[in-house]
Amino acid sequence: MPIAPAAYSAWQFWDGRATDVEQQAGMPVMNPVEMAIPSEEFLVKKLKGPASPVLLGAILARQGKAQAAVAAYGTGILNGNELPPVGDRILAEADLAGPVADWITSSEDGTAFATLTPLYARLQAAGHARAAAEVGEARAGLAVGLKAGRAWYETACSWAQSGEQERALSGLRAAAELGFATADMLNLEPAFAGMHGQPEFDRILASLR
């Protein structure tokens, strides 16, 4: 049935709760049950928010436009936008996590460490260990002292989970030198289970006893 004549109808929806097509068009969007949008102010904030650059980054990544995707992702993330799961997945699959983290680091924004921390955590929790490790390295390079030690330890775990044992060992050495890692931590960490018996791992472990 053609919908054009609906504009001339005296009522809209089956129950007539809208009086014209303009009202009908807006009601589903503002329905808190259907769209989970509680108010017009909330909708305006979302539409004006930083989601657009991140979503654009995901689209550009899918199109193979890596440089533009990195800039778009970086801009959105620095603006405080959390990537939806599909955005995180595309970021990881396109091997752009490291370049995006480097872009954020090179921006010399004072919030870069705090910005990269939730990105690292989300990628790690979603099973994108290699992408998390790349973000982790950029993040660790921004920190000092025990904060840096913890960041390097977490990065080492991610590298180990992604099968990059040499890079995991590099992260462990940094964590140990900064006074964060302990022998018990290395013995109990599941990510390092396959590294016991390797000369360099055992050397690091012995240095912590």
Residue-level pLDDT at 55: 77
What backbone phi and psi angles, to 5 degrees, belong to 160?
A: -65, -40
Average pLDDT score over the chain: 84
Domain count, the chain: 2
Two tokens, residue 11: 């009522």
Residues 105 and 70: their CA atoms lie apart, in Å, by 12
pLDDT for 1 beyond 50: no
Residues 73 and 81: their CA atoms lie apart, in Å, by 9
Q: What is the pTM of this model?
A: 0.74
| 25 belongs to a structural domain | no
Domain region containing 174: 144-209
Domain boundary among 119, 142, 165: 142
Residues 154 and 119 in one domain: no
Residues 152 and 138 in one domain: no
Residues 208 and 32: their CA atoms lie apart, in Å, by 55
Residues 74 and 152 in one domain: no
| 138 belongs to a structural domain | yes
| 9 belongs to a structural domain | no
Residues 56 and 69 in one domain: yes
More confident residue, 82 or 49: 82
pLDDT for 26 beyond 70: no
Residues 96 and 122 in one domain: yes
pLDDT per position as a tens digit, 113-151: 999 999 999 999 999 999 999 999 999 999 999 999 999
Residue-level pLDDT at 141: 94
207 touches 175 (CB < 8 A): no
Domain boundary among 142, 158, 181: 142
